[in-house]
């Protein structure tokens, strides 16, 4: 795939393919940092974050007790790193640098808002890690589905569909692991799901021993607008203009970084 020309950066109010891919890149930075730090103790390299990249707060190596879960985590980390590199290459010089990311205070705030407790550390153990991963995976699927209708290039639409499929594999994997864990982790996940639904316009299917797939009544995966995704990752209410907070304390980088309402 050839890089997007640098003149695709938005000069008017119109949203371009580059804007949408950069929006996705911000989310991939977040996922890559979460998984890489969990499996290796270190995040993205300087070569993968752009110049003047924001700092990452929190995130330590998880002590996995189950070899299979550790291997799943490593595989997802590798996939998210590949997504970052793919999008940066596609965008070329138009790629935004990694924004500041918070993997500590954000989870504490999410836990409090979801009614889990005053603090939650997804790096404390493998079970907590799985719940932390659940926080992101369904958001990625809905974000890519929502963005698909905004892309004008068939080439980039096909690439986005491919990434969406991979993210859906990840989400299914994490959702299955959570149902196998049972209480209290299944309860925590559904509390997070309810929080996302409140902030991001619904688009959630609660987990149970017999319900894994997140889809609507037509068995089509949910989609979210960029506004709805921003409300979730900023850990903000479903209404009101917001431009930063939660997992992105200084906001996303690029054109799509503030909600319209």
Distance CA 244, CA 236 (A): 9
Span 92-107, average pLDDT: 98
pLDDT tens per residue across span 16-70: 999 999 999 999 999 999 999 999 999 999 999 999 999 999 999 999 999 999 9
Number of domains in the chain: 1
Percent of the chain clearing pLDDT 90 (strictly above): 91
Residue with tokens 């809905």: 142
pLDDT at 197: 95
Map 66-78 to HEC letters.
CHHHHHHHHHHHH
User: Does position 72 have pLDDT exceeding 80, yes or no?
Assistant: yes
241 within domain boundaries:
no
pLDDT tens per residue across span 147-206: 998 999 999 999 999 999 999 999 999 999 999 999 999 999 999 999 999 999 999 999
Span 109-135, average pLDDT: 96
Cβ atoms of 93 and 2 within 8 Å: the answer is: no
pLDDT at 261: 76
pLDDT at 11: 35
User: Does position 2 have pLDDT exceeding 70, yes or no?
Assistant: no
pLDDT tens per residue across span 214-234: 999 999 999 999 999 999 999
Give the H or E element holding residue 88. Answer: helix 67-91
- The model's pTM: 0.94
| Residue 165 φ/ψ, nearest 5 degrees | -60, -40
3 within domain boundaries:
no
Give the H or E element holding residue 217. Answer: none
pLDDT at 7: 35
> Which residues are CB-contacts of 158 (< 8 A; sequence separation ≥ 6)?
none
Distance CA 111, CA 194 (A): 12
User: Does position 4 have pLDDT exceeding 70, yes or no?
Assistant: no
| Cross-strand partners of 208 | 211
Cβ atoms of 32 and 56 within 8 Å: the answer is: no
What average pLDDT does the structure give for the chain?
93
> Which residues are CB-contacts of 130 (< 8 A; sequence separation ≥ 6)?
69, 174, 177, 178, 181, 185
260 within domain boundaries:
no
pLDDT at 1: 54
> Which residues are CB-contacts of 140 (< 8 A; sequence separation ≥ 6)?
27, 31, 167, 170, 171
159 within domain boundaries:
yes
Cβ atoms of 28 and 96 within 8 Å: the answer is: no
Q: At what angle do helices 226-233 and 17-40 cross, to 10 degrees?
A: 30
pLDDT at 163: 96
237 or 256, higher pLDDT: 256
63 within domain boundaries:
yes
Question: C-alpha angle with apex 1: 20 to 72, nearest 5 degrees?
Answer: 75
User: Does position 3 have pLDDT exceeding 80, yes or no?
Assistant: no
Span 68-84, average pLDDT: 98
Cβ atoms of 258 and 245 within 8 Å: the answer is: no
157 within domain boundaries:
yes
pLDDT tens per residue across span 195-215: 999 999 999 999 998 999 999
The domain containing residue 111 runs over which residues?
Answer: 15-233
255 within domain boundaries:
no
Span 116-130, average pLDDT: 97
Span 127-134, average pLDDT: 97
User: Does position 9 have pLDDT exceeding 80, yes or no?
Assistant: no
8 within domain boundaries:
no
């Amino acid at each position: 795939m050839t890089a997007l020309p640098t003149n695709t950066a938005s000069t008017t109010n119109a949203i371009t393919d580059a804007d949408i891919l950069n929006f996705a890149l911000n989310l991939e930075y977040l996922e890559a940092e979460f998984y890489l730090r969990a499996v290796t103790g270190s995040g993205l390299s300087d070569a993968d974050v752009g110049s003047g990249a924001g700092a990452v707060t929190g995130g330590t190596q998880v002590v996995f007790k189950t070899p299979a879960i550790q291997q799943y985590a490593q595989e997802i980390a590798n996939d998210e790193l590949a997504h970052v590199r793919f999008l940066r290459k596609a965008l070329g010089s138009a790629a935004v640098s990694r924004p500041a990311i918070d993997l500590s205070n954000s989870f504490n705030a999410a836990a409090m808002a979801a009614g889990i407790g005053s603090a939650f550390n997804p790096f404390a153990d493998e079970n907590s890690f799985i719940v932390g991963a659940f926080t992101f995976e369904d958001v990625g699927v809905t974000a890519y589905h929502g963005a698909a209708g905004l892309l004008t290039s068939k080439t980039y639409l096909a690439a986005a569909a491919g990434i969406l499929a991979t993210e859906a594999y990840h989400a299914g994997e994490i959702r299955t692991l959570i149902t196998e864990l049972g209480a209290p982790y299944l309860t925590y996940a559904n509390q997070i799901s309810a929080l996302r639904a409140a902030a991001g316009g619904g688009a959630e299917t609660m987990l149970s021993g017999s319900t894994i797939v997140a889809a609507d009544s037509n068995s089509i995966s949910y989609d979210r607008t960029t506004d709805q995704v921003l409300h979730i990752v900023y850990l903000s209410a479903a209404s009101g203009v917001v431009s930063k907070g939660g997992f992105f304390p200084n906001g996303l980088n690029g054109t799509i970084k503030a909600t319209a309402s």
